[in-house]
Structure 1
Amino acid sequence: MKSILVIHHGQGVGGGLIALLGLIAELKENNRVHVLSIFDGIAVDYIRQTGATVTVAKSRFYAKFYQLFIHSDAAYFNIIDSIRNNKSVILYYLSKYYFAGKELKNIVFDYEIVYLNSIFISDWARASKLAKKKVVIHVREPLSRGLFKFKYEIIRQTINKYCDQVIAISHDNASRLDLQHKTTVVYDPVVTKNRSQSEYKLINRKFKYFVYLGGMARIKGFEQLVESLEYLDENIRIFFLGGESEYASHGLKRLVRQNLDPFFLKNKRLIDKLKKSGKIIHVGLVDDVFYYYENSIAAICPFSKPHASLPILEAFSVGKPVIVSDVKGMEELVDSTNGVFFINSDPESLAHKINEMSQVTEQDYEAMRTACMTKYKQIRERSDSVTSVLNRT
């Protein structure tokens, strides 16, 4: 039995959090687990539901000033974001050299391993290592090299110096960090507990159903999904799962965003277009996503930026093919036997592939379903587990 301190940023509800909840439940079976959340965000309530003890960082620095140092190819940047990102570099160093160590001293839990759940919190690695703990970091994001590699090297050198093990959720993420000597690729597990309990009756057999799980996140392909709606056949319906965009609704912040973020006004138009479309079944944030997989022909994953995606694995696990953009890294999981590719930034191409998938013959569709489940089985058989990596550390 090992004692593990899990450090998580505490923000967001998505595939990363789902995988973390499954991991915590698995770790608790044979280990002692305590969770430190940097922010008192929405994720904290979900983590507490696993029965794990959660401590939220007490320092005013994290509550009032700290920002995650996000340097990822799975992100869009405008003037506002660039300013915030440069500010976050300073905060990263303050956390790395002072505040993280101070916060760890407040933890009364006696632990031997620190597990950092995101590359965005690599600033906690130094303090963890100086406390004479084994440090494992989970590379869930595609680290960006940037133009001059300055920010890239800040993160990479910190991980190389202070982390004993690196876990990457894809080979693409592993290659970007380029620390192969200490990296293990572990694909996210598919968590089914409490996620397939619906008794909804939403299905009308005259329609062809698909599922999209990215909400209004731009990197998930929200923009090109909405723009594709006008090109879809009339019998297509899409279950729209996920959260909404969060912008300041009034005041100075809204005024600044409106003038400096070119996507702000466009996003409002996209939301209006989405709500008016008769081809969208708006579901929102739900835990029981497998009802929608099982009642759909395929999962639509129209990512506009490269990143590993749990919905692809979830779809494969129940024998559902996927429709994905041709961004870097998708070929790691998807090929012509288990899905189709469309041209990124081309909504008409996306619509064409959805229409095409809705008309596939029963024989070809069953072959794709078999290929999906075969691929998923191969991934699970060949992939290590986060628990195994932590136990070996």
Structure 2
Amino acid sequence: MKNILIIHHGRGVGGGLIALLGLIEELKFKNKVQVLCVFDSEAVQYIEKLGVTVTIAKSKFYSKFYGIFIHSEASYFDIIDFSRNLKNIISFFLSKYIFAKKELSNLNIESDIIYLNSTFISDWALAAKRNKKETFIHIREPLARGVFGIRKSIIKSGINKYCDQIIAISRDNALRVGLEDKTNIVYDPVVVKGRSTSHEVNQNQNFKHFLYMGGMQRIKGFEQFVQALPFLNENVRIYFLGGDFRFPDNKLKRFILFFDPYMWRINSLIKSLNKSKHIIKIGLVDNIFDYYANSISLISPFSKPHAALPILESFSVGKPVVVSDIMGMDELVDLNNGLFFKNGSGEELANAINKMSTLNNSEYLNMCNNAKNKFVEILGQNQSVQSIIDKHFLSI
């Protein structure tokens, strides 16, 4: 049995947290698992339900000043990100060289492994090695090169120097880091527990129902999703899952938003969404799989490269997908289990949705079978994080 301290960076409930819950469920059978949350958020309650001890970073540096240094291809870099990252790059180095070591020392938790649950918290790797711990990092985000490659160089060199094992959630993510000798590809687990009531969702059988789970996040393709709505067939209805967009309370942050062209469009997009007859707005729910079961397909129109756990979830229940042609998407999706559209084109997204809705029964069932078979194939090839841990300790 190993003592594993997982450091989690997320503030909310999303794919990263769901994947972490699945990881904890796997690891706690053979190990003593504890979690350090960098931020106090609703994620803490979800993790505590698994019966593991959760600690929140105690330093005021993390609660008052620290910000996540974004270096992901799955993001938009504009004036807001530029101003935010000026502070976050400073906090990254302060955490790396001063505060992370203090935080880990003050925790006084016995651990054999410090497990960083995100590329975004690679600044904790140096502190882990200074404490003479085996250090694992989970590459959940596609590492961006940036304009000059400086961000990538900083992150990659830190991971290479201080991390003993790298676990990437996709082949695309692994290639971006480029440290093949210590990298394993492990697709995120599909977590069903607590996410289904096994009840039918009330629906009109005259309609073809789809599922969209991206909320109003730009990288999830919200803009092109809304742009597709006027071009949809009359009988298409879409369950819209996810939270509403919220402007920040901080006056300075609200002022900075005025310089982001996307913010000039967001109110119009939300208005169009709310007016559309094609949308069945659900909001934030836990019983995601009830909606998979009652939809003919998932719509995942990501506008930026990202390994989408919902695609694996959809495949696990034999449902095909409609996806954008972003880099790395063909790692999971092909024309046998889904339909592609040209990223950036709302009309092409609508065409793909309409095509899915008009497949004859034989074509659709064949695509469903292929989706299920793809999931079984991935499951068969997927190694466990536990097996990687076991192999690592046998080799040292």
Shorter-chain TM range is over 0.9
Output the CA distance in 2 between the equivalents of 1:194 and 1:24. Answer: 15
2: CA distance between counterparts of 1:111 and 1:249?
39
Shift of 1:217: 0.7
**Equivalent residue number for residue 147 of structure 1:** 147
Partner of 1:326 in structure 2?
A: 325
CA separation of 1:157 and 1:250: change in aligned 2, threshold 3 A? closer
Partner residue of 1:109?
109
1:267 aligns with 266
Pair 1:341 & 2:340 matched: yes
**Percent same amino acid among aligned pairs?**
56
Residues 269 and 250 from structure 1, CA distance in 2 versus in 1: closer, same or farther, beyond 3 angstroms? Answer: farther
Matches within 5 A, 1:254-333: 254-258=254-258, 260-333=259-332
- Aligned to 2:237, what secondary structure does the other structure show? strand
Confirm whether residue 392 of structure 1 aligns to residue 391 of structure 2.
yes
Aligned-pair CA distance for 1:198: 5.2
Structure 1 position 14, deviation (Å): 1.1
Letter in 2 for 1:347: G
Greater displacement, 291-300 / 242-251: 242-251
- Matched letter for residue 241 of structure 2: L
Alignment partners' CA distance in 1, 2:200 and 2:248: 34
Structure 2: distance between partners of 1:106 and 1:61 = 14
Q: Hey, what does 1:360 align to over in structure 2?
A: 359
Q: Distance in 2 between matches of 1:250 and 1:154?
A: 30
CA distance in 1, matches of 2:204, 2:94: 56
Q: Which residue of 2 aligns with 1:178?
A: 178
Q: Give the whole-Å Cα distance in 2 for the aligned partners of 1:80 and 1:311.
A: 28
Instruction: Give the structure 2 partner of residue 236 of structure 1.
Output: 236
- What amino acid maps onto 2:360 in structure 1? T
Cα displacement string for residues 112-138 of structure 1 (whole angstroms, at most 9, x for unaligned residues): 001000000000000001101000000
1:91 is aligned to 91
| Structure 1 equivalent of residue 213 of structure 2 | 213
Determine the C-alpha separation between the residues in 2 that align with 1:6 and 1:253.
Answer: 31
For residue 2 of structure 2, what is the aligned residue in structure 1?
A: 2
What is the CA deviation profile of residues 275-333 of structure 1, one whole-angstrom value per residue up to 9, with x for unaligned ones? 11111111111111111111111000000000000010000001000000000000000
Rounded to whole Å, the distance in 2 between the matches of 1:170 and 1:199 is: 32
Q: Secondary structure at the match of 1:106?
A: helix
After the TM superposition, list the runs of 4 or more consecutive aligned residues in structure 1 that deviate by more than 6 angstroms: none
CA distance in structure 2 between the partners assigned to 1:96 and 1:251 by the alignment: 30
Instruction: Tell me, in whole angstroms, the C-alpha distance in 2 between the residues paired with 1:314 and 1:39.
Output: 27
**Maintained 8 Å contact 1:186/1:385:** yes
- Distance in 2 (alpha carbons) for counterparts of 1:174 and 1:332: 12
2:55 matched to 1:30? no
Answering whether residue 129 of structure 2 is matched by residue 129 of structure 1, we say: yes
**TM-fit CA distance, 1:255:** 2.9
- C-alpha distance in structure 2 between counterparts of 1:8 and 1:256, whole Å: 28
CA distance in 2, matches of 1:250, 1:2: 43
* CA 1:215–1:367: 2 relative to 1, 3 Å: same
Report if aligned partners of 1:219, 1:303 keep a CA contact under 8 Å in 2.
yes
Counterpart of 1:213, as a letter, is M
DSSP 3-state at the match of 2:282: strand
TM-score norm. by structure 2 comes to 0.97
- Find the counterpart in structure 1 of residue 373 from structure 2: 374
The amino acid across from 1:48 in the alignment is E
Partners of 2:327 and 2:61 in 1: how far apart?
A: 37
Q: CA deviation at 1:21?
A: 0.7
Alpha-carbon separation, structure 2, partners of 1:212 and 1:348: 17
Deviates more, 1:12-21 or 1:199-208: 199-208
What is the CA distance between 1:200 and its match in structure 2? 5.1
Partner-residue secondary structure (3-state), 2:71: coil
More divergent stretch after superposition (246-255 vs 324-333): 246-255
Does the 8 Å contact 1:325/1:342 carry over to 2? yes
* 2:223 is equivalent to residue 223 of structure 1: yes
Q: Which amino acid aligns with 1:363?
A: S
CA contact (8 A) 1:23 1:387 kept: no
Comparing 121-130 and 79-88, the one that deviates more = 79-88
Question: Which secondary structure state, in structure 2, belongs to the residue aligned with residue 341 of structure 1?
Answer: strand
Distance 1:294 1:53 in 2: 34
Q: Is the 8 A contact 1:165 1:182 kept in 2?
A: yes
The gaps in structure 2 that reach 5 residues or longer are none
When the two chains are superposed, the root-mean-square deviation of aligned CA atoms in Å is: 1.2
Answer with 170-179 or 6-15: which moved more: 6-15
Q: Give TM-score, length-normalised by structure 1.
A: 0.97
Structure 2 counterpart of 1:61, one-letter code: F
Number of the residue aligned with 1:40: 40
- Tell me the alpha carbon deviations over residues 203-255 of structure 1, each in whole angstroms, 9 at most, x when there is no partner: 11000000011111110111111110000011100001112223225744323
Contact kept in structure 2, 1:6 and 1:117, CA below 8 Å: yes
Distance 1:150 1:249 in 2: 32
CA contact (8 A) 2:136 2:165 kept: yes
Count the aligned residue pairs. 392
Structure 1 unaligned spans of 5+: none
